[in-house]
Structure 1
């Protein structure tokens, strides 16, 4: 990763990983795509190779990110999807010109137009969000149990009881806090 920027939190689900480009939403927020080049970096890491990005495209990306987060939060809370979020997700999905291709290994890969545009990549992310929000994939949307994070994530665990968006960050932090509190309690006795 480029020096001077926080690391990306990468997950196995494109749409919810994209919402993770803004973390600690209820604490001191951390913007992980603060510049157009940083968005390019994130897209490339996620197999959506684009060469450049403008500030206007970065704003479209952030708008999509927040729409996916709002819709995923509503779905995880079993509330109706916000109409404004659905409108943004649908708009980004319809503007992209990417196509799914099958690799010889039997995996889906996205082929963006030539030259590849940020709009194409955002269309792929929006399509992924649609498949999750429409219930087409095996799993369930959930919210991170960390009181400062509250990130939406797609739980594909067998029991569907995962609590943390990322065990290495939020889960570890909460376990450490619980351990330290128990140590203080035990030493006071």
Structure 2
């Protein structure tokens, strides 16, 4: 089961190492480079079973539909991954992963959130995750809520998911809720990598 993790180092903590490939990135790493390295590593093993992305998710206080600022922050604005991030403006770059990745699990805050006033805008997280699934042909697993994790002892551990978790695919880009997302975990030790 070939696997890979991308860890944007702005998410503090030790990078989990129980993957076939480990990629650490930061605010100077271009999204083009990240996409190309994943594609190259996937071709080396014919296909990745799992690609885990550990990063911050962008949240904002905008109701883009009405053009108003709201008091509560909401997600869905994309991922803080590399210099440019990954969002609805550049998700098409991941077409290089088409047929090379079976499953993408996004460990970030609220990538699959769509605040009511942001449906159909650049902050439509469910649409972003659906487009990512359509573009890559992979199943995309992402949470709707802010995620919390432990980074004090050993590799990053997100533990149990906070809030609803959704699975998006090229046959179901609207996504469906996963009732028991416990099997989607960071591979932080040999047992969880099996």
Taking structure 1 as the reference length, the TM-score comes to: 0.31
Return the structure number with greater helix share.
1
Bigger Rg, which one: 1
Using the size of structure 2 for normalisation, the TM-score is 0.31
